[in-house]
Amino acid sequence: FGSDATKIQRNPLFSTLNSEDISYFKGVLGEKNVIQDEERLLTANTDWMHKYRGSSKLLLQPRSTEEVSQILKYCNSRSLAVVPQGGNTGLVGGSVPVFDEVVINVSLMNNIISFDKVSGILVCEAGCILENLITFLDTQGYIMPLDLGAKGSSQIGGNVSTNAGGLRLVRYGSLHGNVLGLEVVLANGDVLDMLGTLRKDNTGYDLKHLFIGSEGSLGIVTKVSILTPPKLSAVNVAFLACKDYFSCQKLLVEAKWKLGEILSAFEFLDNLAMDLVLNHLEGVRNPLPPSLHSFYVLIETTGSDEAYSKEKLEAFLLHAMGAGLITDGALAQDINQASSFWLIREGLPEALMKAGAVYKYDLSLPIENMYNLVEEMRIRLGESATVVAYGHLGDGNLHLNISTPQYEDKILAQIEPYVYEWTSKHRGSISAEHGLGLMKANEIFYSKPTNVVHLMGSIKKALDPKGILNPYKVLPHSLSSSS
Ligand code: FAD
Ligand code: MLT
Ligand code: ZN
């Protein structure tokens, strides 16, 4: 397990659960949604990476906003700390308890409330699994504006609470643009109905944005209204090899100019990432003949006219080949081949888990010097670790992953604070899309000025004066603990 949690103390102002609390929760939620079973608690206490583990004794599964409101109101009055949990696929230790916080999971709130086929606006409960929403929208001729490797278990409430980016942000933008409304329950049980379905609404402060990306520290998201794009029929995927990082950058610039409105993903991985996925995931193979390729780029285009899209993409690939930007490439001939290309990129987080321990850094950096960090890290760590890089190049988002047989303080000391200082020096972000969670709560100052962090602390205090919502996460511990 990682060592982040060992550095903090349980807030002594929080109460511990007693039998009266359990009886109260059973009264509100019914016996079977008040879970004390050890096996289920072990799952709820352990994060996806198996890096963080809490010791919660209770998992609550409300079925309605009213139930969420009642249990939060009670927890607040009793000073019982809580952790909102979705699909528990978060990568920064934000979704699991640090100590004995009560886990609240809205997975039973998984209904689609409405879908407007004219505007493409979907309203649903926060516990809907992303993949189920994608499947539902497919039947309506629409898609979700976000897609990510964890779609099979992450919930839309979790996606919103992390402001998840994912694979299509380059085309459809972030959830700050696509989420039109939210219903949120505050720590004291108040329900905020901000569930608008309007694209334009300039009446006062747009408070929903406070909750998008707030990682469960300001309220529990119970309903979401989201703008969904139409499902266009002409989707093409190319898997390309580049000889160096400079060529990847030039390829991106060319793709923006030459593919323009049909570009829907621009992802990259380096050769060590490719080796890792080939070695650790069954059924994955490199579509390009073995060679000493240094980088791979996956480009997806999405348009409404197959002939137009194909012609555009083929002309782009010919141009890129002629200009020496790509050394080899394959264009998917059918949907199965397209999926097999995507599997290489989407399988990377799982391959890293299979390889052993992984130190994950999710950075926004200026694209031109992003890869210098990867090379510097390799020199720093030498033989002690495998440094692999991949990410959403089109968004300037590098996933720097350091794979080792097990977690070791001596390796961590070589990585941090170096990686954060480097990012800060280049005016990057230490969390592009995964959030701060427990892992980076104390590192926020690398990306945000002190007065901005203090204003965040004041907002947290105003909305959650006792600090019961996801304590020890997001904000530095000095600011987020209640007093
Ligand atoms: P959880 O992990 O359960 O929780 C995440 C945070 O949100 C926690 O702080 C939690 O307290 C809070 N939370 C959850 N539900 C609610 C709610 N209803 N109300 C208030 N707070 C809540 N992330 C990306 O951005 N882009 C990617 O491409 C991407 N790919 C991934 C691929 C894999 C294989 C994995 C394992 C993870 C990936 N992630 C990615 C990270 C993760 O999937 C996302 O952060 C996802 O949005 C989390 O959703 P979840 O339902 O699992 O939330
Ligand atoms: C991804 O893009 O694959 C995800 O953000 C997960 C990761 O960084 O490993
Ligand atoms: Zn990502």
At 400-433, the pLDDT tens digits run: 999 999 999 999 999 999 999 999 999 999 999 9
Q: Which long-range contacts (CB under 8 A, 24 or more apart) does 32-40 make?
A: 33/60, 33/61, 33/62, 33/63, 33/108, 34/58, 34/60, 35/59, 35/60, 35/61
If you take atom 16 of ligand 1, which residue's CA is the nearest one?
158
Q: What is the mean pLDDT of residues 291-315?
A: 95
Do 159 and 187 have their domain in common? yes
ipTM of model: 0.99
Nearest CA to ligand 1 atom 38: 150
Show the domain range for 397: 356-446
Number of residues written out for the chain: 483
Smallest-distance ligand from the CA of 159: 1
Q: Are residues 26 and 63 in the same domain?
A: yes
308: Cβ contacts below 8 Å, ≥ 6 apart: 234
Radius of gyration of the chain (CA): 23
pLDDT digits (tens, 9 = 90+) for 243-301: 999 999 999 999 999 999 999 999 999 999 999 999 999 999 999 987 778 999 999 99
Assess whether 245 and 194 both reside in one domain: no
Segment 31-51 shows an average pLDDT of 98
In a domain, 74, yes or no: yes
312 and 372 both lie in a single domain: no
Q: Which of 128-161 are b and which e, b meaning 16 or more Cβ less than 10 Å from the residue's Cβ?
A: bbbbbbbebbeeeebbbbbbbbbbeebbbbbbbb
With cut-offs at 50, 70 and 90, classify the pLDDT of residue 4.
Answer: low
Any bridge partners for residue 389, and if so which?
Answer: 400
pLDDT at 481 over 80: no
Which of 320, 348, 376 delimits the end of a domain? 348
- The reply to whether ligand 1 has any atom less than 6 angstroms from the CB of 174 is no
C-beta 88 within 6 A of ligand 1: yes
**pLDDT for the residue 2:** 46
Tell me if residue 275 falls in helix, strand or coil: helix
Which residues is 224 bridged to in the sheet? 124, 182
C-alpha distances out from residue 398 to 57, 70, 293, 339, 362, Å: 37, 41, 19, 22, 6
Structure tokens at 296: 């791979």
Going by CA atoms, what residue is nearest to atom 6 of ligand 2?
349
Mutation to probe ligand 2, out of 51, 89, 147, 148 (largest number of atoms < 8 A from CB): 148
Q: What is the CATH number of the domain that holds 188?
A: 3.30.465.10
pLDDT in tens, 355-366: 999 999 999 999
How far apart, in whole angstroms, are the C-alpha atoms of residue 352 and residue 334?
28
Give the domain-ending residue among 348, 367, 395. Answer: 348
**Alpha-helix runs per DSSP H in 213-347:** 245-258, 271-280, 306-322, 335-346
pLDDT in tens, 106-126: 999 999 999 999 999 999 999
Looking at residue 33, its pLDDT comes to 98
**386-392 β-sheet, strand order:** 328-331, 234-242, 295-303, 263-270, 386-392, 397-404, 357-364
For 17-39, the pLDDT digits (tens) are 999 999 999 999 999 999 999 99
Question: Of the ligands numbered here, which is closest to the C-alpha atom of 110?
Answer: 1
Q: Is the CB of 223 under 6 A from ligand 1?
A: no
For the Cβ of 399 lying below 6 angstroms from any atom of ligand 2, the answer is: yes
- Check if 349 has its Cβ closer than 6 Å to any atom of ligand 2: yes
Is 471 a member of any domain? yes
Tokens of 423: 């990012």
41 within domain boundaries: yes
What pLDDT shows up at residue 263? 98
Q: Are residues 155 and 79 in the same domain?
A: no
CATH of the domain at 58: 3.30.43.10
Pocket test for ligand 2, best of 399, 401, 403, 439 (most atoms within 8 A of CB): 399
What is the average pLDDT value for the chain, to the nearest integer? 96
Query: In the prediction, which pLDDT does 483 show?
Result: 46
Per-residue pLDDT band at 477 (split at 50, 70, 90): confident
Whole-number pLDDT of residue 290: 77
350 lines ligand 2 (CB under 6 A): no
- pLDDT of 478 reads 82
Task: Choose one of 85, 128, 167 to mutate for the ligand 1 pocket test, by most ligand atoms within 8 angstroms of C-beta.
Answer: 85
In a domain, 453, yes or no: no
- Cα of 413 to ligand 3 centre, how many Å? 24
Ligand nearest to the CA of residue 217, numbered in listed order: 1
Q: Is 165 in the pocket of ligand 1 (CB under 6 A)?
A: yes
245 domain residue, yes or no: yes
Ligand nearest to the CA of 396: 3
336 phi-psi bin (left φ>0, alpha ψ -120 to 50, beta other): alpha
Same structural domain for residues 70 and 156?
A: no
pLDDT at 470 (0 to 100): 98
**Ligand 2 close to Cβ of residue 157 (< 6 A):** no
Q: Express each pLDDT in 59-87 by its tens digit.
A: 999 999 999 999 999 999 999 999 999 99
Backbone angles phi, psi at 369, to 5 degrees: -115, 10
Q: How far is the CA of 56 from the centre of ligand 3 (A)?
A: 29
Regarding whether 118 and 103 lie in a shared domain, the answer is: no
Q: What is the pLDDT of residue 7?
A: 77
Structure tokens, 276: 């890792």
pLDDT at 3 over 50: no
- Cα–Cα nearest to 159, from 114, 117, 197, 216: 216
Q: Is the pLDDT of residue 6 over 90?
A: no
d(CA 130, CA 143): 11
Q: Are 301 and 312 in contact (CB under 8 A)?
A: yes
Burial state string for 375-411 with b = 16 or more CB within 10 A and e = fewer than 16 = eebbeebeeebbbbbbbbbbbbbbbbbbbbeeeeeeb
Residue 452 lies in a domain: no
Tell me the one-letter amino acid at 20.
E
For a ligand 2 pocket test, name from 47, 344, 362 the mutation site with the most ligand atoms within 8 angstroms of its C-beta: 362
pLDDT of residue 1: 47
User: What tokens does 280 get?
Assistant: 């650790």
In sign, the C-alpha dihedral spanning 302, 303, 304, 309 is: negative
Residue 164 C-alpha to ligand 2 middle, in angstroms?
10
* Strands 82-85 and 102-105, bridge-based pairing: parallel
Q: Let me know whether 162 and 194 are in one domain.
A: yes
Indicate if the alpha-carbon torsion angle 439, 443, 449, 452 is positive or negative.
positive
d(CA 392, CA 161): 20
pLDDT of residue 479: 81
Q: To test ligand 2's pocket by mutation, which of 162, 348, 363, 429 has the most ligand atoms within 8 angstroms of CB?
A: 348
Helix (H), strand (E), coil (C) string for 40-68: HHHHHHECCCCCCECCCCCEECCCCHHHH
Q: Find the CATH number of the domain harbouring 339.
A: 3.30.70.2190
* Beta carbon of 49 within 6 Å of any ligand 2 atom: no
Nearest ligand to the C-alpha of residue 49?
1
Q: Quick one: pLDDT at residue 293?
A: 87
Query: Does residue 116 sit in the same domain as residue 214?
Result: yes
Question: What is the structure's pLDDT at 480?
Answer: 65
Q: Are residues 440 and 465 in the same domain?
A: no
Q: What share of the chain is helix, strand, coil (3-state, %, to 5)?
A: 40, 20, 40
Question: Would strands 102-105 and 59-60 be described as parallel, antiparallel, or unpaired?
Answer: parallel
362 lines ligand 2 (CB under 6 A): yes
